Chains A and B, each alone.
Chain A
Amino acid sequence: MRKKKEWRVLPSYEGKVSLEQQGTGVVLSNALSQEQLAELAKLPLAAGFLERITVTPTNDVKDEN
């Protein structure tokens, strides 16, 4: 299985940090899409809250029986 890289919010900051502009912003969470996290990771202010990890996708099939 090919490994891939993903952005993750560090566990201690999950749901706890807002990156705010005036009247808008985002709470850092692993519920955000990879595209959103990748965009946020470009901000120097956000770098310390995120990590890039290697994950191995699984092909697990849910047993419906």
Chain B
Amino acid sequence: MAGKFKNLSYIARGNSNLGGIARMVAFAESDFEGGTGWPKRADLGETGEVTVAPPLKDAVIGAELSFDHGSCRVKSSKKGALGYQNHDHEVEAKFAGVSPAQMPAVEAFFNEGGVIVAYYKNGNRRVFGASWNPLVIEESDDSGAKGGDPNAISFKGKATDLDFHAPFLASSVTLPTDAMAVKAMPFTVGA
């Protein structure tokens, strides 16, 4: 009889394994229909992927967060004493510039939680936060002190006490995205 634990190995040799995140698409907590939240533990298939489409309100399009190269990371962690463990999801990124054109997008995060789909550099999609327990988004901007310093907006989102690691999104799940806003990606972008 197989034990409860399963074999766990590093990725097979000879494969690409680039660090960092290439793309983020964000949905606000209020973009979702009420009632059944998304994603929830019951949405995860046998492989732990989310196989259920997000229950978005009519005509909602995800916001494309086009961050500086090499600035975006995502984390999913499990913590706690045996019998009381839970999970935290975190995302962070930086956006060059601090300008009036960027401020309305920043202001939209004010007292508004979110769910973010992060795209790894091989195109795999992973969901951070949940509509029933959204990422709480904090951002700050800093002019730097001299010409070579980054004049940038820093963005962080964190959701605590979820009952699953940030789940991968099954390849068949459809998301509505902004066709005009997506930048060049190291993987095939859907449409």
Contact = CB atoms under 8 A, between A and B. Distances in A.
Given A16-B179, A19-B176, A20-B177, A44 B53 contact: yes
A20 B59 contact: no
Interface stretch (B6-14, B102-110, B144-152, B182-190): B182-190
Contact of B190 (A18, A43, A45): A18
How would you classify the secondary structure of chain B's contact residues: helix, strand, loop or mixed?
Answer: loop
Counting chain A CB atoms within 10 Å of each CB, the highest count among B56, B57, B123, B179 belongs to B179
Interface in B111-133: 123-125
Given A13-B59, A16-B180, A45-B53, A23 B171 contact: yes
Interface string A31-42: 000000000000
How many interface residues does chain B have, given as a range? 20 to 34
Contacts, number: 85
A18 B53 contact: no
Nearest to A15: B179
Contacts of A44: 53, 55
Contacts of A24: 188, 190-191
Interface of B: 53-61, 123-125, 169-180, 182, 187-191
16 contacts: A10-B59, A15-B179, A16-B61, A16-B180, A20-B174, A20-B177, A20-B189, A21-B172, A21-B173, A21-B174, A22-B125, A22-B172, A22-B190, A25-B190, A45-B54, A48-B60
